[in-house]
Structure 1
């Protein structure tokens, strides 16, 4: 087991790792939509937040020697299911033809007033 850390994504705000590599998989902790240089300040709007959260996921995957096209499962937490169409559009734009398993779950309140959080599992 290896604990993954990169300064290109926001530092963990609690007792956890950005990701853990184990048995050929990378388990990326939920990524909020913060630029690592502005912790605690998400961008405005669901599209900008989704893109930033995906950018953080990608930075962590790259630090682990993986990539977005190796994602096998994604869980996208949103504060309102009304965000689903925009989340789906951004997700499709970023993932392209790659179609990992995915869950979109409503979480009425995310940390720091964020609208989205993304957690993934990928191949190493």
Structure 2
């Protein structure tokens, strides 16, 4: 069964679902560091945007009755590969022990001000 996840606590778009739950898996779309309260980027730094992007992913997980502990894979897309260390600094606060698998790559789309997009896959029994 496929269930589209919707929450007002994370950015949305008519172009994609925030997340989809299919069986025991939860797929979270790539999410930028947009603060839904303001509709703007959380800040100009990689740390601020990673923090907000992970917050947004966590809200979509919550809509699926899942948590960060259920995450099995994270994909990180960086506009500037030189932001890798700054991304890691904030990321480590969210997954301090036994982190999920992860990949990082260069963000292909050029979106003014967006430094990072993060997607996740979670497994919930």
Gaps of 5+ in 1: none
Question: Conserved in 2, the CA contact under 8 Å of 1:110 and 1:116?
Answer: no
Measured after TM superposition, the shift of residue 109 of structure 1 is 4.1
Residue aligning to 2:10: 9
Q: Given the alignment of the two structures, is residue 53 of structure 1 paired with residue 53 of structure 2, yes or no?
A: yes
Q: Given the alignment of the two structures, is residue 79 of structure 1 paired with residue 84 of structure 2, yes or no?
A: no
Q: TM-score, normalised by structure 1?
A: 0.92
Question: Conserved in 2, the CA contact under 8 Å of 1:72 and 1:101?
Answer: yes
Residue aligning to 2:67: 67
> Compared with structure 1, are the counterparts of its residues 93 and 41 closer, same or farther at alpha carbon in structure 2 (3 Å cutoff)?
closer
Question: Conserved in 2, the CA contact under 8 Å of 1:69 and 1:98?
Answer: no
Measured after TM superposition, the shift of residue 18 of structure 1 is 0.4
- Give the secondary-structure state (helix, strand or coil) at the position aligned to 1:54: helix
> Compared with structure 1, are the counterparts of its residues 110 and 57 closer, same or farther at alpha carbon in structure 2 (3 Å cutoff)?
farther
Gaps of 5+ in 2: none
- Give the secondary-structure state (helix, strand or coil) at the position aligned to 2:87: helix
For the residues of structure 1 that align with 2:93 and 2:75, how far apart are their CA atoms? 17
Aligned residue-pair number:
123
For the residues of structure 2 that align with 1:46 and 1:86, how far apart are their CA atoms? 6
Q: Give structure 1 regions of 4+ aligned residues with deviation exceeding 4 angstroms.
A: none
* Larger CA deviation: 103-112 vs 83-92: 103-112
Question: Conserved in 2, the CA contact under 8 Å of 1:80 and 1:108?
Answer: no
For the residues of structure 2 that align with 1:80 and 1:102, how far apart are their CA atoms? 18
Q: TM-score, normalised by structure 2?
A: 0.91
Q: Of Structure 1 and Structure 2, which has the larger fraction of its residues in strand? A: 2
- Give the secondary-structure state (helix, strand or coil) at the position aligned to 2:41: coil
